[in-house]
Structures are given as structure tokens and as C-alpha cells.
Amino acid sequence: MKFFSIFILLFMVNSVVLANGGKTVFETYCWGCHHQTAEAFGPSFKEIASKRGADEIRGMISDPESVSKILGYKRNAMPKFQLNEEELKVITKYILSFK
């Protein structure tokens, strides 16, 4: 029982870290062009979450020039970001949390 509680606690702490990490990445790199629920220069995270999966989101961040075409954009206005694996993971999770 004690072991189980520790497991749950660790799981909760981990989720909080992941959620906050995503918000930090968002505020650092994306906020100028994307907002959480309102459309800005780019589409809102809410809109993105409603129509894309994790692979499309990751692809768009790492290689917007090719992936924007796959997603149906004629021109690409999003800069390329070199995020590390952890940052990619938390920002993708953060975007999808707006579903």
C-alpha cells in the first residue's frame, strides 16, 4: 500500500512537471505567434489540438518548411525550432491538452 502511494505521488509530480514544462516552452518560443485558445498570427493551440496528432505537431516544430506543405499550407511562415527531445515532448503534450 505504501509503495502504491509513492508510485501515485511520483506519477502526479511527473505530470505537473510535464505540464509546467510545456507552458514554459510555449511562453519562451511560441507565444509571439500562437495563443492558447485565441487565434493570433498562427492558429490557436486549441484549434491545432482539434485536428492534429503528436507526429504532425512535432514535425511542424522541427521542420516547418516541409511539414507545413503536408498540412496543406501554401506558404510557411513559421520559423524552425531546434528543441531538445524533452522540450518537444512537453510542448506537444501541452498543445494536445487543449483538445
Give the CA radius of gyration of the chain: 15
**Residue whose CB is less far from ligand HEC, 68 or 97:** 68
Torsion sign (Cα): 68, 40, 77, 85: negative
Q: How far is the CB of 34 from ligand HEC (least distance, A)?
A: 5
- Say whether residue 36 binds ligand HEC (CB under 6 A): no
**Cβ closer to ligand HEC: 21 or 43?**
43
Q: Which three cell numbers stand for residue 2?
A: 505504501
Pairwise CA distance, residues 40 & 26, whole Å = 14
Q: Which stretch binds ligand HEC (CB under 6 A): 1-9, 15-23, 66-74?
A: 66-74
Residue 49 in contact with ligand HEC, rule: CB under 6 A:
no
